[in-house]
Amino acid sequence: MVIDLAASGLSYEPGDSIGLAAPADPVLVRSCLAALGATGDEMVTGPDGVERSLKETFSVAVDIARPLDRTTDLLAMSAKHPRHAAALRLLSEGADGAEPADADLLDLLEAFPSARPRLADLVASLPALRPRLYSIASSPRSTLGELHLCVAVVRDERRGRVRNGVASAFLADRAGDASAVPAFIQTSHFRLPADPARPVIMVGPGTGIAPFRAFLAERAVRGVRGRAWLLFGDRNRATDFLFEPELRAWLKDGTLSRLDTAFSRDQGEKVYVQDRMRESAEDLWRWLQDGAYFYVCGDATRMARDVDAMLRRIIMSEGRMDETQARDWIVSLARQGRYLRDVY
């Protein structure tokens, strides 16, 4: 996704993120209004204190994809059917097996038609619609006036209905028809070393490659050549090798000195970036001993945790340390600003 920054007043550096105030899925908005028997013209006050129509409030002010426990509490109190009230209370309490699980507002309205609170109270119970943050995948010096993103579109199906990620589906499906989107730049600690001669090790599977594309583009435009190692992984090489032509070109001209890939579904046994780290443990340790900066970007719940665990194992084996010493060594690396994570 390429965003035009003309007249926006926004500026950024490689490693920064952009916050996009994407509107809600209009299909979901219309369906919620229909379930409430509302026209959408009803005036309500959102969490920001601004009075808008209910349709606009559902679109830009409250998050109808992620109702809170206080929303189910409110629906339980307004439910005229005792079974509806009881089921909603179970949802609020997080009881095992409570349904509908992972519900959006439409799920709740359809499952419990007797629960219809005042519209003002319903709006007040919903969380504010927050901007979504994306790591920027470009350098301002290589893509003048533009900002590039690498986005995985969130779509899944539950209870016979497709659920779209608020911002990712907006970018994929509707942003081309939008005029302007409220946005801001979030300055990051995620930066290339001040000394361009320092080695860099970048671990970025999937869309985690975004800031590293920005780093490499920045190095290319500045003519920086040296030790830059990217470990990239995804499901299948044929369909998921993001930015392959650019990476190959940077390898050829020396902007990138090493590229290790891990495509998990291309063989019987799944292979991930941490497996490539283990296979190159001696080299990785040598780079760190030479002052390399170690960067990780991507999924926080699994990938970043597994990469951190593998890094600790490598330090233990190659550095001849016990677990406590390895943990302390990693803490020291982070305090030096040489272990940086952009995880989500």
Q: Which pLDDT tens digits describe the chain residue by residue (344 residues)?
A: 999 998 899 999 999 999 999 999 999 999 999 999 999 999 999 999 999 999 999 999 999 999 999 999 999 999 999 999 999 999 999 999 999 999 999 999 999 999 999 999 999 999 999 999 999 999 999 999 999 999 999 999 999 999 999 999 999 999 988 778 899 999 999 999 999 999 999 999 999 999 999 999 999 999 999 999 999 999 999 999 999 999 999 999 999 999 999 999 999 999 999 999 999 999 999 999 999 999 999 999 899 999 999 999 999 999 999 999 999 999 999 999 999 999 98
92 strand-pairing partners:
none
For residue 262, give the CATH number of its domain. Answer: 3.40.50.80
* Position 194 in a domain: no
* Position 192 in a domain: no
Give the pLDDT confidence score for residue 179 in this predicted structure: 76
User: Cα 205 vs. chain centroid, distance in angstroms?
Assistant: 13
* Position 193 in a domain: no
Domain that holds residue 221: 200-343
Identity of the residue numbered 34 = A
38 and 114 within one domain: yes
59 and 71 within one domain: yes
* Position 172 in a domain: yes
Give the pLDDT confidence score for residue 338 in this predicted structure: 98
Give the pLDDT confidence score for residue 342 in this predicted structure: 96
Give the pLDDT confidence score for residue 15 in this predicted structure: 98
* Position 191 in a domain: no
Last-in-domain residue among 76, 98, 125: 125
* Position 177 in a domain: yes
* Position 326 in a domain: yes
288 and 204 within one domain: yes
12 and 83 within one domain: no
157 and 121 within one domain: no
Alpha-carbon span 88 to 99, nearest angstrom? 9
157 and 103 within one domain: no
Give the pLDDT confidence score for residue 287 in this predicted structure: 98
Give the pLDDT confidence score for residue 180 in this predicted structure: 84
Give the pLDDT confidence score for residue 176 in this predicted structure: 86
262 and 315 within one domain: yes
331 and 204 within one domain: yes
164 and 87 within one domain: no
User: Cα 233 vs. chain centroid, distance in angstroms?
Assistant: 16
* Position 100 in a domain: yes
Alpha-carbon span 252 to 38, nearest angstrom? 60
299 and 221 within one domain: yes
Give the pLDDT confidence score for residue 178 in this predicted structure: 79
Give the pLDDT confidence score for residue 151 in this predicted structure: 96
Q: Per the structure block, which two tokens stand in for 194?
A: 């001040």
Give the pLDDT confidence score for residue 177 in this predicted structure: 84
Give the pLDDT confidence score for residue 111 in this predicted structure: 97
269 and 135 within one domain: no
For residue 71, give the CATH number of its domain. Answer: 1.20.990.10
214 and 156 within one domain: no
For residue 15, give the CATH number of its domain. Answer: 2.40.30.10
Closest C-alpha to 38, from 128, 109, 138, 124: 109
Does residue 240 contact residue 263 with C-beta atoms inside 8 Å?
Answer: yes
Last-in-domain residue among 186, 208, 227: 186
> How many domains does one find in the chain?
3
Last-in-domain residue among 79, 101, 125: 125
pTM of the model: 0.93
